[in-house]
Every structure is written in C-alpha cells, then in structure tokens.
Amino acid sequence: MAEAIVSLVLKQLGSVLSEQASGCIGKQVSLVWDVDEEVEKLTHNLEAIQAVLFDAEQKQIKNAAVRLWLHRLKDVCYDVDDVLDEWNTAILKLRIEGVMIIMLLLRRRRDGGIGKTTLAQFAYNNNEVENKFDKKIWVCVSEPFDEIRIAKAIIQSLKNNTPNVAELEYLLQCIRDSVKTKKFLLILDDVWTENNKKWEPFYNCLKNGLHGSKILITTRKESVARIMKSNDIINVGELSNEENWLLFEKLALSERLPEEYKNLEEIGRKIVRKCKGLPLAVKTIGSLLQFKKSKEQWQHVLDSEMWKFEDTEKGLLTPLMLSYNDLTLMVKRCFVCCSIYPKDYNIDKRTIVDLWMAQGYLRKEKNDENENITGEEYLDYLVTRSLLQKHKSFSDSYMMHDIVHDFAQFLGDKECSSIEVYGDEDSLKNSPRDKRGLPHNITSGDWKISKFEAFGI
C-alpha cells in the first residue's frame, strides 16, 4: 500500500516538474522561490525511499518500528498529495486566466464578449484539462433550479443513458455509484439559486468521486459562488468603453461611407456608453443600428425612455427590447416561439421552421418550398439582429444566448411554455394543454416531443 502511495506522489511531482520545464505555468509560479529545487529534492528522497519499500513492507509484519515508519510515511505522502493537488488546481486557474489575456489580445470579444460561459468552455475543451479527467460533464442549470433535470443531465454524461424515473433519491444514487470510480470535471453553467439545501444533495453524492475531481460553476451572482463554497472565484470584468466602441463600430458603422460615419459617430459613442460595458448589449444594439440609415433614427434610439429603466440584467433589457420592437409581427412571434426550447439547446433549422409553419407564422405562398425559404429568411434575420446565433459546429443548427432566452421567455409568458413530463405516452396525452392553442413543448426528458407530435396536430 505504501509503495502505491509513493508511486502516485512521484507521478504528481513529475507532472509539476514537467510544467516548470515547459514554461506552461507562466511567470506567476516563478515567484515561488526555488520551488523547482524543492520539488527535485523531494523527488530524489522519495525515489530513494521507494527503492527500499518492498523490503520494508515485508519486515513490518515482525518489526513494529518498521510498521510505525511505514504508517508515518503514508501520512506524509497523503499530505504531499493534497499539497500537489492544490498546486495543480492553481496551475489550472492560471491557465484559465491566461486564456483571458490571450482572448483579449485576439479580440475574441468581437463575437459578443468574453463571458462566464465562454471562459468555462475554454477550460472544458482544453486538451490538457481533458487528459486529467476520466469524465467531463456540462450542465446548463439556469432558473429555476430543477433537481430532476440536473440529475438526469449528469447521469447522461456519465453513463450515456438516462433512467426514465422522476425520483430524485434514485437519480442521486445513480450519480453516487457512477462517480465512485471516476475522476470527473463538472461544469455547472448559469447557476442562480442561493438555496444551499438544493445544492447540498448533489454535493454529498458528487464527493464520492475520485480524488482530484473538480466542479466549476458560472454564475452572475457572487453570493451563489460563496454559498456553493467555491475555493477560487474569478470575476470576469466588463469591456472598456473603447473596446465596446470597436465592437459597435464593426457592427453598425463598418459599411458606411466616410461622410455617413462622421455624421453618426457622436451619437453612436453616446449609445455605447449607455450599454454599461456589456458586450451583449453592444452587439444587440449595434446589430439593430446597422439597418438604420438616418441620424434621426439613431437619435431616436439614444433618446428612448427605455434607457431609464433599471433591470436585473444591468442594462441588457433595453437593447433587447429596442431590437425586438423593431421586428415585424411575424418575426416577433417566431422569436418568442424559440423560448420553448431549453437553454443551451441546439435548435434544428428544419424542426423550428416546421413549428413556425404549423403555427401559421410564415407567409402563405404557393407551396411548402416557398414557406421553407421564408422560414430560413426569418432565421437569418434573427441572426443579423443577434437574437439567435449560428451553431459553431453544426451548419443547420442555431443557439440562443441564455440572457436572450430569458428575455424570450419573459415575452412569451402567456403564449409559449415548456412542460417536462416523466413517464409513458399516456402521461403525455394527459398533460395540460395550452388554452390558447399556441406552442408549447411537452417532453419526456429528452426535449424532442413538440405539442404537435404529442397530440397529433
């Protein structure tokens, strides 16, 4: 047993030396004076101990002094392993922070800004991070905190299948059994709840994972991170006013003639200042104003009474509402209809166009083919307004930013809904129907059954 522990620690030490030699950790670690010398010294000592361990483990049966020495050795090795685990966590944190420097230099913020989810995705998809874990799990938590859905999402990632049950204790036991032989990385994206009692059952079963497992959360509320007892909190700052202007300029002014640019620049800079350093707000309002040609139209946006309203998203509601109000009636309906999908869902082009068509949201042409073209035009239009995003990996799929999704759900509160039903087909038929006959999504946990499929409409 002692030999196995020493071998594990030596492997950890080798990893630290490799990081030092490759320079992957960066200058920050070099501030720890002589750390490489201490690591090498400890490595040599443990290698010398390892050479006599086999003989010592044989003698401990008859020699109490040797048995005591081995016991103390194991205690020390466990302490060293804990320190090295903290060291590797610090290295991971530095890498993530390094990505934020890099991303600023590459101006990745032009796509909407370096946000919490973007940063978590870089960590999640990093090859070196991936090699350190047996399993990676990504769950969009959102609001409300749905324990059943979250548990099922974790199980799906761990076992590639989801049990068709709605008993939380059963699902938590599945998680507990599945992680006990695995070193995992769990990303909980967009956490809102400050109720520790909802999180505690997950924590109790997840701590059954192998030593070195990590949980990373993203949240808009620092209090949530503290309630969940986060060890390291990285605050993602806002863009500077000049960086926001460059993003806005690219969207709203890049195609303008010099005279037109000069005529609109002053108003544009005032509008950018109203966006409070939030790249999504800048991107949304910039996407709106690229279609506005006159100075009067830009002034109308600047003077809108809506800027005076404070909201929970710190300035995001106004740009979103201004963009939404500029849509035609049918495009508005199509946008709100997208809220029936859960957050982080890949919206299939064919499926959403069929849904719009079934609801009569598309212009009636001579044949279905023309209706499909109209549906694709609506999708492209929503993308140009930054209300939808094209999926980076799948050409026929779309996604909605989580804040935009919240906005769409707010607008569709009385028109669209999502109902998750656990059980067989009979329970789907007995599910509550929307009294207005407008779209809602009824699912059995996999988010694939629309109202029209469930009721044969």
If one counts every other C-beta atom within 10 angstroms of the C-beta of residue 295, the result is 13
Number of residues that this document lists for the chain: 457
Is residue 163 located within the same domain as residue 189?
Answer: yes
pLDDT (tens digit per residue) in 368-405:
555 566 888 899 999 998 899 888 777 788 988 888 88
CATH number at residue 209: 3.40.50.300
Q: Is 223 found in the same domain as 295?
A: no
Nearest partner of 440 among 144, 456, 449, judged by Cα:
449
Contact between 386 and 112 under an 8 Å Cβ cutoff? The reply is: yes
Q: Give mean pLDDT, residues 290-311.
A: 85
Task: Please name the residues in contact with 331: beta carbons below 8 A apart, sequence gap of 6 or more.
Answer: 378, 381, 382
Confidence of residue 15 (pLDDT cuts 50, 70, 90): low
Highest-confidence range of 41-55, 72-86, 290-304, 373-387, by mean pLDDT? Answer: 290-304
**Which range is most confident: 83-87, 246-250, 343-347, 355-359?**
246-250
Residues 123 and 223 in one domain: yes
Residue 76: per-residue pLDDT: 75
Q: Hey, what are 263's tokens? A: 């005529």
The residue type found at 198 is K
- Give the least confident one: 47-61, 81-95, 164-178, 437-451: 437-451
pLDDT at residue 248 in the model: 92
Is 315 or 382 the better-scoring residue by pLDDT? Answer: 382
The token duo for 420 is: 């998750």
Peptide bond into 144 cis (omega under 30): yes
Of residues 134 and 22, which shows the higher confidence score?
Answer: 134
Q: How far is CA 411 from CA 322, 358, 456, in A?
A: 13, 20, 27
Residue 64's domain comprises 2-106
pLDDT for 184 equals: 92
Distance of CA 336 to CAs 122, 204, 326, 414, 432, Å? 30, 38, 14, 11, 20
> Distance between alpha carbon 259 and the CA centroid of its chain, in Å?
42
Q: Give the position of tokens 């949201």.
A: 361
For residue 75, is pLDDT > 60? yes
Band of pLDDT at residue 131, cut at 50, 70 and 90: confident
Q: Which letter does DSSP use for residue 237 in this model?
A: P
334 and 444 in a common domain: yes
Say what the pLDDT of residue 19 is: 54
**Residue 270 belongs to some domain of the structure:** yes
Does position 127 have pLDDT exceeding 70, yes or no?
yes
CA-based nearest residue to 383, from 397, 403, 363: 397
Cα 23 from chain centre: 29
Q: Give the pLDDT confidence score for residue 445 in this predicted structure.
A: 40
Same domain for 87 and 174, yes or no, is no
Q: Decide: 411 and 339 in contact? Cβ < 8 Å.
A: yes
pLDDT value at position 359? 82
pLDDT at res. 39: 67
Is the model's pLDDT at 288 over the cut of 70? Answer: yes
Supply the CATH number for residue 352's domain.
1.10.10.10
Cα-based angle 405, 410, 415 (whole degrees, multiple of 5): 105
- Asked which of 305, 325, 345 is the last residue of a domain, the reply is 325
How far CA 390 is from CA of 325, 384, 439, 446, in Å, comes to 22, 10, 23, 22
Percent of residues, the chain, with pLDDT higher than 70: 66
| Residue 373: Cβ within 10 Å count | 14
Which of residues 227, 262, 278 is at a domain's end?
Answer: 227
**Same domain (yes/no): 181, 76:** no
Kindly state the tokens that stand for 24: 């992957």
Do residue 151 and residue 197 come from a single domain?
yes
**Long-range pairs, 323-327, Cβ under 8 A, ≥24:** 323/284, 323/285, 323/287, 323/288, 323/385, 323/386, 323/387, 324/387, 324/407, 324/411, 326/288, 326/291, 326/385, 327/381, 327/385
How many CB atoms are closer than 10 A to CB 13? 20
In a domain, 234, yes or no: no
pLDDT for 162 beyond 70: yes
pLDDT beyond 80 at 181: yes
* Stretch 143-167: mean pLDDT: 87
d(CA 181, CA 211) in angstroms, rounded, equals 10
* Cα–Cα distance for residue pair 327/304, rounded to 1 Å: 17
Residue 151 CB contacts under 8 Å (≥ 6 apart), including other chains: 168, 171, 172, 174, 175, 202
If DSSP codes are grouped into helix, strand and coil, which group holds residue 136? Answer: strand
Among 307, 325, 343, residue at a domain's last position: 325
Least confident of 122-126, 291-295, 310-314, 375-379: 310-314
Question: What distance in Å separates the CA atoms of residue 221 and residue 226, rounded to the nearest whole number?
Answer: 9
Residue 232 placed within a domain: no
Mean residue pLDDT of the chain comes to 75
Number of domains the chain is built from: 4
Question: What does the pLDDT read at residue 317?
Answer: 81
Residue 433 lies in a domain: yes
Residue that wins the pLDDT comparison between 449 and 286:
286
Structure tokens at 129: 């991070």
Instruction: State whether 355 and 431 are in the same domain.
Output: yes
The confidence score (pLDDT) of residue 225 equals 84
Do 337 and 377 belong to one domain? Answer: yes
Q: Would you say the pTM of this structure is higher than 0.85?
A: no
pLDDT at 119 exceeding the cut of 60? yes
Start-to-end Cα distance in the chain: 65
The average pLDDT across 188-215 equals 88
Residue 235 lies in a domain: no
Q: Is residue 446 part of a domain?
A: yes
Per-residue pLDDT at 152: 92
Tell whether the model's pLDDT for residue 125 goes beyond 80.
yes
**Residue 288 domain flag:** yes
Q: What is the pLDDT of residue 276?
A: 81
* 3-class state of residue 412 by DSSP: coil
pLDDT digit string, tens, across residues 228-283? 888 778 777 677 888 889 989 999 998 889 999 999 999 999 999 988 888 888 98
CB-CB contact of 334 with 179 (8 Å): no
Query: 339 and 282 share a domain?
Result: no
Q: Is residue 439 part of a domain?
A: yes
* Span of 19-33, 88-102, 116-130, 131-145 with lowest mean pLDDT: 19-33
Say which residue, 9 or 234, is predicted with more confidence. Answer: 234
Same domain, 220 and 118: yes
Do residues 441 and 386 share a domain? yes
